Structure 1
Amino acid sequence: MTVVTPERPEHPEHPERAASGRRTRRSRLAPWLLAGPFALLLLGTVLVPIGYALYLSLFTERLSGLGFDGPHDVFVWLGNYADVLGDAAFRDSVGNVARYALLHIPLMLGGALLLALLLDSATVRLRQLWSLSVFLPYAVPGVIAGLIWAYLFSPGVGPLNDALPWDPLGSDGVLPSIVTMATWQWLGYNMIIFYTALRTVPRDVLEAATVDGAGPLRTALAVKVPMIRPTVFVALVFTVIGSLQLFTEPLVLRSFTPSVTSTWTPSLYVYEAAFVSNDYGRAAAASLLLALACALLSALVMRLSTRRSR
């Protein structure tokens, strides 16, 4: 009798080892899947526009011959940057923004921090109502808010024109007017940020300060404010960037007063160069210089924040 021995099947891979291999491949692929949407957005909304602006800033349009052939692009290397830095209008716009930032940043951040501390105290009632009422100006679109303030500042029509000790649309009063408009709109936004950070301060720390004899003012200045210092510095960074990019308020007031020129801020300077003068090379160079200033100031503030935290 012949005994037929069945063939042994090949030993498959160990199931635990196979599962471990699949998990390893998934773990390697997961970071790319999670970072992919962010990388695409960063590439499409930041890196590509910056690269295209850098390309435009190296060229300018010039006429050849008698001009019958029309304008053509000419490579000027850093010529547009030199023209922007040598332009008195651009330097004046930087000076206007600097004076605006010196007034706006302390008023807005100081006022927002003060209101947040008052809301966080135990003496304030109807906190949600107060926070909503202060936050509402942020919900108003900037152009509409600018038109409302322009009406309030208009001579013979607006009630604030005669009530203020200065001419709000004059050459010396337009800067405080713009500071007032921007502070009114952004005060509630930063107050909500500070108030949310204050709610995360441990209650036992505040109770310990009270037991040690610290009053409300000392507790606010010596305990609460130091514990939310990182939040304050983050708000400072965004406020500095927003100040350098000031655009809406002077753009609206430009239609109501000759004190605000078409190049009153660097953003208006870029707008005028690109969409009025059609000088895209100069506009791109000015925008990149503005972006560089924002990056340097932001890095400086963050470095000060890190050193202060240490």
Structure 2
Amino acid sequence: MTTTEPRATTPAPPASVEPRRPRRRRTLAPYVYLAPAMTLFTLFLALPIGYAVYLSLRTVKVSGLGLGSGARQEVWAGFSNYSRALGDPEFLASVGRVALYGLVLVPTMLGLALLFALLLDAKRTGVKGFSRVSIFLPYAVPSVIASLLWGFLYLPRVSPFEYVAESLGLPTADVLSSNVILFAIANIGLWGGVGFNMIVIYTALKAIPQELYEAARLDGATERGIAWRIKIPIVAPSLILTFLFSMIATLQVFAEPTTLRPLTNTISTTWSPLMKVYRDAFTRDDIYSAAATSVVIALATFVLSFGFLRLVQRRAFAQENG
């Protein structure tokens, strides 16, 4: 009779204990840093926008002769202020003038900014520091002061250009006339905006690796070919950015025509959409119609900016996304 000895069982390996991950401590530091910016954004941007939208949906109901404590009451108006603003001939005419103003100003300004940036980036260009400062300096002048300076240059009686032209027997033109006033206002914007856009484009040009230029020169490319085939395509995102800023500034033109208006009778109080908003709010005391018009301008600016970016983002930003 045989007896079987029990087999020795090997002890099971101990289960692996996962190390405890340290718990992330929630800190209030990010919220503390964001609090000032969010507070300023809420107080000076979000709340005014919300209040403007609220006013655009209200109006004043006048009973009787409008005298007495309860004769004027603020009531709900719905979208009547918007329909009245969009159907106002003065508003539509101001939109047409600003559109023509943008067609004259924006391409000329960006073309000169690109030309100056390419010239400053060229190797043979001398006194680059002085050139950059002299081109950028007009942007540092406030638009109201620039408009006053150009306004006195436009006036025939005090303009030195008029005096020189008369001394030389050359023909003169009234720059503040109704046929030329749009170009006179565009010239002020051109004088002040070229420098800023030039700095943006020039900064993008300085970020291009020099190896690309050396390889192109070894292949026999000229400086003009390098500028056309290498520099301009690479700085296309900067050109789009400057075009977007210029378009927004064009839709918000206000200081230049308002400052020139006392010098001539060819600029009406509704020459631009923002001038109409100012007239309705502070001259006619119709803040409800002014609020509706301002909301329409803001929505149009957003739609045009967003639509333009959606239109060009695939082609212009393909190199960055790839």
Partner of 1:61, secondary structure, is: strand
How much does 1:36 deviate?
A: 3.8
Partner of 2:263, secondary structure, is: coil
Partner in structure 2 of residue 118 of structure 1: 119
Q: Which amino acid aligns with 1:236?
A: F
Q: Which amino acid aligns with 2:65?
A: L
Deviations 1:63-120 (A, max 9, x none): 1123223422121111111111111110111001000000000000110010000000
Alignment of 1:256-295 (within 5 A): 256-295=263-302
Partner in structure 1 of residue 3 of structure 2: none
Partner in structure 2 of residue 80 of structure 1: 81
Partner in structure 2 of residue 48 of structure 1: 47
Partner in structure 1 of residue 186 of structure 2: 179
- Asked if residue 200 in structure 1 is aligned to residue 207 in structure 2, the reply is yes
Contact 1:190-1:235 within 8 A present in 2 as well = yes
Q: Write the distance in 2 (CA, Å) between the matches of 1:262 and 1:99.
A: 18
- Asked if residue 92 in structure 1 is aligned to residue 99 in structure 2, the reply is no
Cα distance change, pair 83–155 in 1 and its aligned pair in 2 (3 A): same
TM-score calculated relative to the size of structure 2: 0.86
Q: Write the distance in 1 (CA, Å) between the matches of 2:251 and 2:117.
A: 25
Q: Write the distance in 2 (CA, Å) between the matches of 1:203 and 1:165.
A: 49
Partner in structure 1 of residue 253 of structure 2: 246
How much does 1:165 deviate?
A: 6.1
Q: Write the distance in 2 (CA, Å) between the matches of 1:114 and 1:32.
A: 45
Q: Write the distance in 2 (CA, Å) between the matches of 1:160 and 1:95.
A: 31
Q: Which amino acid aligns with 1:98?
A: A
Cα distance change, pair 160–297 in 1 and its aligned pair in 2 (3 A): farther
Partner of 1:254, secondary structure, is: helix
Alignment of 1:147-186 (within 5 A): 147-161=148-162, 166-186=173-193
- Asked if residue 67 in structure 1 is aligned to residue 66 in structure 2, the reply is yes
Contact 1:161-1:168 within 8 A present in 2 as well = no
Alignment of 1:13-52 (within 5 A): 20-21=22-23, 23-26=24-27, 29=28, 31-52=30-51
How many residue pairs match? The answer is 291
Partner in structure 2 of residue 10 of structure 1: none
Deviations 1:40-71 (A, max 9, x none): 33322322111100000011223112322342
How much does 1:166 deviate?
A: 4.2
Q: Write the distance in 2 (CA, Å) between the matches of 1:166 and 1:160.
A: 11
Q: Unaligned stretches of 5+ in structure 1?
A: 1-15
Q: Write the distance in 2 (CA, Å) between the matches of 1:165 and 1:118.
A: 33
**Which structure's CA Rg is the greater one?**
2
How much does 1:218 deviate?
A: 1.1
Q: Write the distance in 2 (CA, Å) between the matches of 1:95 and 1:159.
A: 33
How much does 1:141 deviate?
A: 1.4
Deviations 1:157-179 (A, max 9, x none): 21345758642100010000011
Deviations 1:4-43 (A, max 9, x none): xxxxxxxxxxxx969x32x4424xx555445444433332
Partner of 1:74, secondary structure, is: strand
Partner in structure 2 of residue 213 of structure 1: 220
Q: Write the distance in 1 (CA, Å) between the matches of 2:211 and 2:32.
A: 42
Q: Which amino acid aligns with 1:50?
A: I
Q: Write the distance in 2 (CA, Å) between the matches of 1:88 and 1:165.
A: 34
How much does 1:193 deviate?
A: 0.9
Partner in structure 2 of residue 143 of structure 1: 144
- Asked if residue 303 in structure 1 is aligned to residue 310 in structure 2, the reply is yes
Q: Quote the RMSD (CA, aligned, Å).
A: 1.9
Partner of 1:25, secondary structure, is: coil
- Asked if residue 128 in structure 1 is aligned to residue 129 in structure 2, the reply is yes
